[in-house]
Structure 1
Amino acid sequence: MLPFNCTSLRPSTFILAGIPGMEKSHIWISIPFCSMYLAALLGNGILLFVIRTERSLHQPMYLFLSMLAISDLVLSTTTVPKMLALFWFRAGEISFGACLTQMFFLHFSFSAESVVLLAMAFDRFVAICYPLRYAAVLTHSTVLKTGLVALLRSFSIIFPCIFLLKRLPFCGHNVIPHTYCEHMGIARLAQADISINVLYGLAVPFAAIVVDVVLITVSYVLILLALFRLPSRTARHKAFNTCGSHVCVILLFYIPAFFTVLTHRFGRGIPHHIHILLANLYVLFPPLLNPVVYGVRTQQIKEKVVKVFICPKSHLLQE
């Protein structure tokens, strides 16, 4: 039953409050956040440019890596510009529709990135366990279909959240104690039973991510078993290096994500501003570090970056 003073079921705007208790430090906090965001844009932009322009990198592994870079850019760009506007200009006002849009693309890009990481694990599994069948299994058509699956699964999981939020009465409560809009942050403002939102928001997306993690784990267990059967130490070392970058990226993505979700749901003793800081760092760290990890650990990418950006004249002569 709705409260008697509920004159408006849906606010025209929400107000993002930033990091509660740290309002005076917003300007100082914005400096590293802005630096990390610009570095993430540069790193992922370079990665996409090199993969796009170098035909030798038009292989499944690097095509999946370009999908990962796009997901990272969507994840950070969905949240960070509005966050910086809030920190710099106190522009915390956001329309109801824009808030739902931001919420959708935030969770959508997270889900899509999880599917891409699973696809990359499968790519390494086939490359190491069934190298002779690699070209037949992972064709360009397969890569394209994988990208479509990532989009469709993410859309089908996250889109219902919009309707779950639209049905709620907010009754003038429109201040979100956060730097961006996310599903449960909006739902908690409602003057109604949000048990469906809690159940759906925790069970469905979380279950999908857990399935991805289980399948990735199974893939790497099988990869490790295959590696230990290799007779040559050089071959094992080369295979470990090939998988090392992907394992680092997986850890960078899932560990902060699970920690943020679990502390947000169950960490009642943790101060609220710590929750918000962790959530902000989560949308910045993976996009920032993923290109660095692959750029440093993957010899082919390192060589192509040097070829295109550091020695462009020799690159043009070869063309």
Structure 2
Amino acid sequence: MPNATVTVSEFVLHCAIDKDKMTFTIVALALIYVVTLLGNLLVIVVIIINPHLHSPMFFYIGTLAVFDMVNSSNLIPRMLAVLLSNATTVPYGPCLLQLSVVYHLGVANGLLLSAMAYDRYVAVVYPLRYPSLVTKKTVCISIFLVNIISAAILTPYMVFATELSFCRTNILPYCFCDFVTMVHISCTEDPRHLTLLSSTTIATGVGELAIILFSYSRIVVAALKISSADGKKKVFSTLLTHLLVVCLFYLPLMISYILPGIGVQLSAEAYNVLVIIAIMVPPMMNPIIYSFRNKEIKGSIYRLWTRKRTTPDTFHGWSRM
């Protein structure tokens, strides 16, 4: 009976990658994963072992590194298993878990980037008030709220995902478990599923981008008042690299999540490429953009490898990124 609803105990991942691109994709994913793990793990270790880095800005950087490691570990090993050994079967429960982690960290990363942009805005525009406005307590509360808000936004997706019924197929034409794909292959015809995706993506994405762009624009205004040409160059160089990561994160995700909600279906390969760029490239780049360009972290890494002890007067100030 083709229209009979069946209980799905597992999904089959069908990674839509051309055979002539398979080797390149496997090597690229493996390289991205190794660089992401090593880079973010190094940042976390340096921040933990150096007491001079136990300050608000580095709490944000450390949290971002944790998010990036979890996000990459949630996706890339499974994708490599699918591509290398044809291990395409995923039980229903782990599939929903992977989906929930992807969406939770997607929202949490955006909120965290907004908080980090606002932190830099306060540090540059109100440097004298910064120590009283941004404390370890306020940073911990903001990180807690980031996760609470992300979980609240995720909850309707999980409810809808459990309501989906499948009567045609259990094959997901992507390299990982995804809410949009589940809706497309399900027999549940309810427009609210994809409408929810588009509306929450627009609301959170536009809101977060507004905060980020506002913060960076105010930093630009403050930078233009700097008399030193080198100072201006350093600020603008940092802002441009930060905006590059923001664009890599937001634009592909917004395209891939908003279009299905308004009735535009992307090809499996196009969707995979967009997701790889949005979810996997920024975690690899973030340690370079937010950490390795930072004098305090670079100094700590150098001393870690050379086993030299840091001195208290080496670390002071907030705007050396």
- TM-score, scaled relative to structure 2: 0.88
* Residue identity matched to 2:246: I
Name the stretch that deviates more: 166-175 or 107-116: 166-175
Instruction: Quote the Cα distance in structure 1 between the aligned partners of 2:26 and 2:295.
Output: 34
Shift of 1:154: 0.4
Which residue among 287, 290, 309 is the counterpart of 1:315?
309
- Residue of structure 2 aligned with 1:117, choices 109, 113, 120: 113
Aligned partner of residue 147 in structure 1, secondary structure:
helix
CA RMSD of aligned residues (A): 2.5
Other-structure match for 1:206? 202
Query: AA paired with 1:253?
Result: F
Q: Shift of residue 264 of structure 1?
A: 5.9
Please give the secondary structure, in 2, of the residue aligned with 1:14: strand
Aligned to 2:176: 180
Question: Which one of the candidate residues 84, 87, 102 is aligned to 2:83?
Answer: 87
Alignment pair present for 1:39 and 2:35: yes
Match of 2:217 in 1: 221
CA 1:273/1:4 → structure 2, altered by over 3 Å: closer, same or farther?
closer
1:16 is matched with: 13
Measured after TM superposition, the shift of residue 239 of structure 1 is 4.3
Unaligned runs of 5+ in 1: none
Equivalent runs, 1:130-141 vs 2, <5 Å: 130-141=126-137
Distance (whole Å) between structure 1 residues aligned to residue 221 and residue 89 of structure 2: 54
* Partner deviation per Cα, 1:120-166 (whole Å, 9 max, x = no partner): 11111111111001100110000000101110010000121011111
Q: Are residues 1:306 and 2:302 paired?
A: yes
SS in 2 for 1:15: strand
Deviation track 1:24-81 (CA, whole Å, cap 9, x = no partner) reads: 7535421221111111000000011111111111221111111111111122111111
**287, 293, 299: which is aligned to 2:289?**
293
Match of 2:191 among 191, 195, 208: 195
Q: Partners of 1:257 and 1:296 in 2: how far apart?
A: 26
Distance 1:176 1:131, change over 3 A: same
Q: Secondary structure of the residue that 2:11 maps to in structure 1?
A: strand
Aligned residues: 312
Shift of 1:232: 4.7
Give the Cα separation in 1 of the matches to 2:212 and 2:290.
18
C-alpha spacing 1:23/1:304, structure 2 compared with 1 (3 Å): same
Q: Distance in 1 between matches of 2:193 and 2:262?
A: 16
Scaled by the length of structure 1, what TM-score is found?
0.89
Cα displacement (A) at 1:172 = 4.8
Is contact 2:2-2:167 (8 Å) kept? Answer: no
Q: Which residue number corresponds to residue 279 of structure 1?
A: 275
Alignment counterpart, residue 29 of structure 1, candidates 13, 25, 30: 25
> Which residue number corresponds to residue 103 of structure 1?
99
> Map of 1:239-250 to 2, 5 A cutoff?
239-240=235-236, 243=239, 246-250=242-246
State the secondary structure of the residue aligned to 2:211.
Answer: helix
Structure 2 letter corresponding to 1:173: T
Q: What is the deviation of 1:293?
A: 2.1
Unpaired runs of at least 5, structure 2 = 313-321
Report the AA paired with residue 115 of structure 1: L
Give the whole-Å Cα distance in 2 for the aligned partners of 1:306 and 1:33: 28
The answer (yes or no) to whether the contact 2:104–2:151 under 8 Å persists in 1 is yes
**Are residues 6 and 267 of structure 1, via their aligned partners in 2, closer, same or farther at CA, if it must alter by over 3 Å?**
closer
Which amino acid in the other structure matches residue 315 of structure 1?
R
Contact 2:5 2:166 in 1 (8 A): no
Overall identity of the aligned pairs, in %: 27
Amino acid at match of 2:16: I
1:143 equivalent to 2:121? Answer no
